[in-house]
């Protein structure tokens, strides 16, 4: 494992992507920043973080030979690695909000952004970025955000949390390398937020509808049972879950 520690940077993912534009980084190269000025989440959202309080990390994983059509399994494996780490610290009511937000007590603790490196239609590796709220105790205009410290009242050692995340990531990537796809998918769906519960969704056009999350397809699309007794699949760009 090759670890790069930075005081401040615009984006740890951007740093690793700049490296792979020349040569692929070493497997499990880890970039850690005390402060990230332009962190990004899903759909181009900004990730706000207080300097020195949280984990803003990107990991490069060499995935040569991994089939592009299976890339959502990378997201599932990473989500499970972080959730299981939080479980080891006794965080309550842990769920994965599709596709890969980690919630505790219905509050968002961690966002994940995975950017796959594809060359000549072949997957070379993944830049796995995550922002985990550890000891931040105030969030402005973010009513659904929280941190490990807020939820439990405990101040955590960030190095210890990071070490457990990285070790658990290695475990789940071994499962991927062993083609344990069904194991990963079954476990991922067992933690899926609002699964089998009536929920409300809003489409990109602003229309609301009710449905029940039944799981995910192999390509990562969300499977929702609707009132007309049909299970439809939806992409991340097509709808959001209201909660």
Residues with Cβ within 8 Å of 90's Cβ and at least 6 positions away in sequence, in order, are: 152
- The pLDDT mean for the chain works out to 93
The number of CA neighbours under 13 Å toward the Cβ of 217 is 13
CB 25 within 8 A of CB 2: yes
For 109-128, the pLDDT digits (tens) are: 999 999 999 988 899 999 99
Superfamily assignment of 2-190 in CATH?
Answer: Bira Bifunctional Protein; Domain 2 (3.30.930.10)
Residue 77: DSSP 8-state: H
Cα torsion 60, 65, 70, 76: sign:
negative
Listed in sequence order, the DSSP H helices in the chain are: 12-20, 72-88, 148-152, 158-177, 181-190
For 96-106, the pLDDT digits (tens) are: 999 999 999 99
For 40-80, the pLDDT digits (tens) are: 555 555 556 788 999 999 999 999 999 999 999 999 999 99
For 168-181, the pLDDT digits (tens) are: 999 999 999 999 99
Question: CB count, 10 Å around CB of 29?
Answer: 21
> pLDDT at position 47, please?
55
* Per-residue pLDDT at 211 exceeds 70: yes
Q: At what angle do helices 72-88 and 181-190 cross, to 10 degrees?
A: 60
> pLDDT at position 46, please?
55
For 194-207, the pLDDT digits (tens) are: 999 999 999 999 99
> pLDDT at position 239, please?
94
Q: Do strands 2-9 and 29-36 pair parallel, antiparallel, or not at all (unpaired)?
A: parallel
Equal fold, 2-190 vs 198-242: no
Provide the whole-model pTM: 0.93
CB 64 within 8 A of CB 123: yes
**Vertex 191 angle, CA 74 and 89, to 5°:** 90
Average pLDDT over residues 188-195: 98
Average pLDDT over residues 20-25: 81
Mapped onto helix, strand or coil, the DSSP state of residue 223 is strand
Average pLDDT over residues 125-150: 95
Q: Which CATH number fits domain 198-242: 2.30.30.100, 3.40.640.10, 3.40.50.2000, 3.40.1180.10?
A: 2.30.30.100
Domains in the chain: boundaries: 2-190, 198-242
> pLDDT at position 87, please?
98
- Backbone φ and ψ for 19, nearest 5 degrees, come out as -65, -45
């Amino acid at each position: 494992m090759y670890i790069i520690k930075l005081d401040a940077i615009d984006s740890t993912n951007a740093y690793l992507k700049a490296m792979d534009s020349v040569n692929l980084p070493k497997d499990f190269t880890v970039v850690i920043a005390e402060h990230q000025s332009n962190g990004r989440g899903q759909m181009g959202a900004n990730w706000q973080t207080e300097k020195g309080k949280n984990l803003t990390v990107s990991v490069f994983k060499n995935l040569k030979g991994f089939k592009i059509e299976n890339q959502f399994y990378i997201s599932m494996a990473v989500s499970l690695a972080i959730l299981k780490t939080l479980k080891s610290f006794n965080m309550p009511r842990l769920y994965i909000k599709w596709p890969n937000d980690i919630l505790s007590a219905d509050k968002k603790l961690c966002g994940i952004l995975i950017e796959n490196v594809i060359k000549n239609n072949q997957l070379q590796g993944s830049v796995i970025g995550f922002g985990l709220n550890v000891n931040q105790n105030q969030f402005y205009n973010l009513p659904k955000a929280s941190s490990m410290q807020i939820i439990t009242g405990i101040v955590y050692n960030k190095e210890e949390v990071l070490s457990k995340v990285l070790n658990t990531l290695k475990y789940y990537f071994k499962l991927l390398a062993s083609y344990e796809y069904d194991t990963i998918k079954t476990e991922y769906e067992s933690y899926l937020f609002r699964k089998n519960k009536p929920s409300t969704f809003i489409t990109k056009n602003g229309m609301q509808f009710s449905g029940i999350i039944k799981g995910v397809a192999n390509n990562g699309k969300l499977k929702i049972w609707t009132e007309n007794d049909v299970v439809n699949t939806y992409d991340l760009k097509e709808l959001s879950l209201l909660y």
